[in-house]
Amino acid sequence: MGYELKFSRYNECSILIEWPAVMDENILKDILNFKKSIQNYNIKLVIEVINTYNSLLIIYDSTIDDVYSEISRLKSLKIEAGTIEHTSSRLWRIPVCYDDDFGIDLEAFSKEKQLSKGEVIKLHSSAIYTIFFIGFLPGFLYLGGLDEKLHLDRKSTPNLDIKKGSVGIGGKQTGIYPKNSPGGWHIIGKTPVDFFNAKSSLPCVFNAGDKLQFFGISKTEFLDLEQDIKNNQFQLTPELYA
């Protein structure tokens, strides 16, 4: 499927390419396919290509002297990129404790949605989510695929101290806070898994296009796993998702 793209100068050293502003897996595949083509084509002076759910930002290491020629070259490359190749994704299974001590908004959220806490947990943990992009905070994953029954606008008054690992729902999305942070999402659980480690050679192991699924653990299991992670005795590894 072809999309109407908008090419524009973002600043003196970068070009922004925009797709339709909807969270759609086919659009994401098209974006990631084009991103791969740009990286493989080895365009001189390109130092980074960043994607969101509907855009690519191409950053050059110097001022773009002739932006119209560069945009023309990118358009030609997009045509050459052709159809989207089917590639297998990685599936990350993330442990979450939905205990009331961690899911501080779970009861209120359940009442608002007229669901039992068990129903919320089942709906939340049964879905397989797609990672669309990473942002807001380093390691914060923007996930698509939340069941419509769990959609709920963000809080009108944000919580000023959401703890690292908190799993929340905001609008049509669910996500995990990779560090302590203010935020307006409804917190329904917590994971002991680290999503960003600045000291690691690969600070964030997740990529756009990966899949993710939550599974419930008890509070005791959470505390045991938390200790294993502190002692470097736990390694999060993905599965192949066809």
Domain ranges of the chain: 6-81, 89-241
More confident residue, 137 or 205: 205
Tell me what pLDDT residue 49 has.
92
The CATH code of the domain at 6-81 is: 3.30.1360.40
Q: Is pLDDT at 85 greater than 70 in this prediction? A: no
Q: Is pLDDT at 242 greater than 90 in this prediction? A: no
Task: Dump pLDDT digits (tens) for 183-207.
Answer: 999 999 999 999 988 888 788 999 9
Tell me what pLDDT residue 19 has.
96
Task: Dump pLDDT digits (tens) for 24-34.
Answer: 999 999 999 99
Rounded mean pLDDT, 130-137: 88
Percentage of the chain surpassing pLDDT 70? 96
Please state whether the predicted TM-score (pTM) of the whole model is above 0.85: yes
Q: How far apart are the first and last CA of the chain?
A: 21
Tell me what pLDDT residue 16 has.
97
Rounded mean pLDDT, 100-114: 97
Tell me what pLDDT residue 84 has.
57
Tell me what pLDDT residue 86 has.
59
Rounded mean pLDDT, 198-218: 91
Topology adopted by domain 89-241: Cyclophilin (2.40.100)
d(CA 130, CA 146): 10
DSSP strand pairing (6-11 vs 14-18): antiparallel
More confident residue, 36 or 124: 124
Q: Taking the C-alpha atoms of 203, 205, 206 and 208 in order, what is their torsion angle to the nearest 10 degrees?
A: 80
